[in-house]
């Protein structure tokens, strides 16, 4: 590859800077946004990632040894400490309060016209988000202005990422074909299929024991990830890997290979209940319109529980109090790592009502518009 090609880019391209904090969630959001900007809005995107090895799990064709490569129309670059002399795009997105390289900031200040500079924040359902969305923040030294852009759950925010072909893909999906492709055991009468994509959790053994004693069969699909060591320990195994299928009384555990984003959507659609974590899988669970449990990324002084409660309040607005109480109790028990056994029966009893609630919640979210389209409109119309 011609090294000078790394320094060339269309003048109207967009730069996205993605710091990898939580392995997959951060890359997941940025990779999804980059692809949408390319495929749905015709924008040339250069995606800077500071940990290409982690990104490869979500982008299987990515080669971490290369400083620059194009994957599915997105120009992916290695974000290293020795940052290259690269041309600045018309829009620069710093995801999750990323600190941009000083040399790149200087180049942004010298560009004419100066780029739209966006701080793409984490998703939160808290009330203060609407007041901060789209606010300007001048740089203390350079003639640059950064604007905060918040994903969110209503029209006062930037909305959520959702591809234009999502509904069509969902309609074409076959749960039976999904099971056959993974060589899963035949579905049993009354079986509950659950996906488990979560952080390490001391409550996991308690939950697995509940499922193993269930009067109806439970099939738990577990993508490769951080939860496998704890799962293996509970089952009395030295380890687990993709392809393993373990029968433990009423519970069948099937370990799946880590899947890219389209495959993960299908996993969510196939299940009756989805355990998700972080941000990207959390959003996809809402689009799936099925009952789910959110394991939020833990913060100091339990600040994450405030965010968790804020979402529950919005998500279940108008739902009967007994359902809200059951979900709130179980979600808090799961996130605190204790009390899961006591909270599970009431939560499980409410799953049919939560399944009915899912489509209404999804429709409400769609009224806000897609985050990628809202971001394009903001950068090309409102800032300019």
- CA 42/CA 367 separation, integer angstroms: 23
The C-alpha atoms of residue 268 and residue 194 are separated, in whole angstroms, by 9
Q: Cα separation of 209 and 186, whole Å?
A: 22
- The active-site residue out of 279, 280, 289, 370 is 279
Tokens of 245: 């299928």
Closest-CA residue to 53 (of 73, 30, 24): 24
Contact 14, 116 (CB under 8 A): no
User: Is residue 190 classed as helix, strand or coil in its secondary structure?
Assistant: coil
Distance CA 304, CA 124 (A): 10
Q: Is 384 a catalytic residue?
A: no
Whether 48 and 68 have beta carbons less than 8 Å apart is answered as: no
The catalytic residue among 15, 26, 50, 206 is: 26
Sign for the CA dihedral angle at 161, 159, 146, 379 comes to: positive
Q: Residue 266 in contact with residue 175, Cβ under 8 Å?
A: no
The answer to whether 26 is a known catalytic residue is yes
SS (H, E, C) 213-247: CCCCCEEEEEECCCCHHHHHHHCCCCCCCCCCEEE
Closest to 352 in 3D by CA, of 291, 293, 262: 291
Sheet strands (E) in the chain: 14-18, 45-49, 68-71, 74-78, 91-95, 116-120, 136-138, 145-149, 192-196, 218-223, 245-248, 251-256, 273-277, 292-295
Please state, in angstroms and rounded to a whole number, the distance separating the CA atoms of residues 34 and 29: 9
Instruction: Indicate which residues carry an active-site annotation.
Output: 26, 279
């Amino acid at each position: 590859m011609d090294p000078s090609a790394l320094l060339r880019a269309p003048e109207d391209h967009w730069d996205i800077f993605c710091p990898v904090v939580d392995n997959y969630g951060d890359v997941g959001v940025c990779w999804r946004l980059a692809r949408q900007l390319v495929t749905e809005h015709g924008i040339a995107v250069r995606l800077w990632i500071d940990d290409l090895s982690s990104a490869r799990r979500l982008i299987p064709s990515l080669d971490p040894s290369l400083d620059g490569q194009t994957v599915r129309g997105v120009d992916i670059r290695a974000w290293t400490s020795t940052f290259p002399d690269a041309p600045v795009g018309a829009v620069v997105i710093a995801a999750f309060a990323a600190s941009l390289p000083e040399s790149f900031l200087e180049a942004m200040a010298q560009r004419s016209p100066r780029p739209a500079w966006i701080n793409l924040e984490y998703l939160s359902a808290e009330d203060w988000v609407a007041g901060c969305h789209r606010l300007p923040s001048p740089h203390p030294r350079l003639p640059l202005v950064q604007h905060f852009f918040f994903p969110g759950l209503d029209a006062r925010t930037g909305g959520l990422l959702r591809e234009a072909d999502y509904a069509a893909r969902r309609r074409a999906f076959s749960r039976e074909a999904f099971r056959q492709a993974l060589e899963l055991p035949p579905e049993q009468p009354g079986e509950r299929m659950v996906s488990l994509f979560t952080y390490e959790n001391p409550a996991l053994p308690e939950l697995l024991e509940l499922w193993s004693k269930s009067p109806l069969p439970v099939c738990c699909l577990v993508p490769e990830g951080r939860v496998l060591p704890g799962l293996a320990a509970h089952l009395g195994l030295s380890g687990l890997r993709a392809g393993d299928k373990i029968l433990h009384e009423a519970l069948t555990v099937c370990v799946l290979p880590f899947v890219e984003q389209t495959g993960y959507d299908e996993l969510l659609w196939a299940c009756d209940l989805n355990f998700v974590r972080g941000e990207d899988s959390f959003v996809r669970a809402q689009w799936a319109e099925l009952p789910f449990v959110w394991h939020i990324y833990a913060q100091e002084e339990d600040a994450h529980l405030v965010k968790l409660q804020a979402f529950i309040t919005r998500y279940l607005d108008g739902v009967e109090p007994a359902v809200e109480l059951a979900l709130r109790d179980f979600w808090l028990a799961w996130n605190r790592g204790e009390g899961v056994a006591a909270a599970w029966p009431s939560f499980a009893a409410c799953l049919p009502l939560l399944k009915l609630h899912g489509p209404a919640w999804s429709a409400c979210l769609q009224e806000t518009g897609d985050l990628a389209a809202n971001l394009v409109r903001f950068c090309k119309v409102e800032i300019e």
